[in-house]
Amino acid sequence: MEHCLLSKLKAQPLWVLALFSVGSFSLLRFFLAFLNWVYVNFLRPGKNLKKYGSWALVTGPTDGIGKGFAFQLARKGLNLVLVGRNSEKLKDVSDSICAKYAKTQIKTVVVDFSGDLDDGVSRIREAIEGLDVGILINNVGVSYPYARYFHELDEELLKNLIKVNVEATTKVTQAVLGGMLKRKKGAIVNIGSGAAIVIPSDPLYAVYAATKAYIDQFSRCLYVEYKNSGIDVQCQVPLYVATKMASIRRSSFFVPSAEGYAQAALRWIGYEPRCTPYWPHTLLWALANSLPESIVDSWRLGFSLNIRKRGQLKDSSKKE
């Protein structure tokens, strides 16, 4: 049979052979990519996170994804430095974590990242002095209350988006990195967004998406800068997760709960510099990549315009 196939191939003109080779090569590439997808999503074990150090620092741990991370890290036996803006919520989260994982040591630092950032960061530096913080989860982030055109953004929102999403992540990373460099180990996870990486544009969320594009490039550069110093930098790219930011209450197959996302996220720490840890999100990413950009752009614009309309209706009913 093999012989028959070979002799049939030999009898073909050159262009058929060329097409056949290109086709076989593409099939092989697709097959290998599929095998790799199955391995990294379902078979590859997560790293032993305690090897990075016994403490993890999480920003924005009082709700959503950050809270999910805090619980999952405690489950893995890490002690926590929780940095949030609301002392009562920080206490609530700490108490619930301690009730579930009694051995976890927790330090809390109150910082409003939209306020005096330098003062906040110096309090973080003081709190982590002498602790071997091996993992940093730069999770804190803000978005628009609802979709709006760029010219409609008020000063306050514009300032907060850049301060919380860009400046806070940058400065907290600097505060924690020094200790990691001394110990020659650490993992930094920066939470990006599909808004900047999966879809070609996020109309009516332009500044949010742009801040997340910063996170993506910042992470990639640090990954290369520090990979030989024992520090693994990663940008995680969630698509929708059921949190208050996304205004989605119930989880579903394509929209994990914050806990579900964080559970998947921990398994990826220390591997690829950019990933989307919740596997159904990878299917959506592949779909977005396979469609012409103009189609995704128009779908997204329609989607955002709908959110804007609903947001404006809510605003006007509040005023009445």
Ligand X SMILES: NC(=O)c1ccc[n+]([C@@H]2O[C@H](COP(=O)([O-])OP(=O)(O)OC[C@H]3O[C@@H](n4cnc5c(N)ncnc54)[C@H](OP(=O)(O)O)[C@@H]3O)[C@@H](O)[C@H]2O)c1
Task: Give the active site residues.
Answer: 208
Determine if 60 is a binding residue for ligand X (CB under 6 A). Answer: yes
In whole angstroms, what is the distance from residue 14 CA to residue 55 CA? 62
User: Which one of residues 113, 205, 214, 278 is an interface residue with ligand X (CB under 6 A)?
Assistant: 113
Q: Which amino acid is at 151?
A: H
CB of 130 to ligand X, least distance (A): 24
User: Which one of residues 47, 112, 170, 206 is an interface residue with ligand X (CB under 6 A)?
Assistant: 112
Determine if 63 is a binding residue for ligand X (CB under 6 A). Answer: yes
Q: Residue 263 contacts by C-beta under 8 Å, 6 or more apart in sequence?
A: 68, 72
CB of 117 to ligand X, least distance (A): 10
What DSSP line would sit under 242-275, residue for residue?
Answer: BSTTTT--S--SSS-BHHHHHHHHHTTTTS-SEE
Q: Is 76 in contact with 137 (CB distance < 8 Å)?
A: no
User: Under rule CB under 6 A, which residues in 187-206 are in contact with ligand X?
Assistant: 191, 193
CB of 2 to ligand X, least distance (A): 51
Q: Judged by CB under 6 A, how many residues of this single chain contact ligand X?
A: 29
Determine if 66 is a binding residue for ligand X (CB under 6 A). Answer: yes
CB of 281 to ligand X, least distance (A): 10
**H/E element, 287:** helix 279-290
User: Which one of residues 79, 85, 196, 202 is an interface residue with ligand X (CB under 6 A)?
Assistant: 85
From 125, 156, 152, 121, select the one nearest 142 (Cα to Cα): 156
From 215, 77, 200, select the one nearest 139 (Cα to Cα): 215
Side-chain half-sphere of 210: how many Cα atoms within 13 Å? 10
Scanning the structure block, which residue is given the tokens 């990075």? Answer: 52
Q: Which stretch, 58-66, 69-77, 179-187, 296-304, contacts ligand X (CB under 6 A)? A: 58-66
User: Which one of residues 79, 94, 104, 114 is an interface residue with ligand X (CB under 6 A)?
Assistant: 114
User: Which one of residues 44, 51, 184, 244 is an interface residue with ligand X (CB under 6 A)?
Assistant: 244
Determine if 89 is a binding residue for ligand X (CB under 6 A). Answer: yes
Strand partners for 59: 83
Interface residue list for ligand X (CB under 6 A): 60-66, 84-86, 89, 112-114, 139-142, 164, 191, 193, 238, 240-241, 243-246, 258
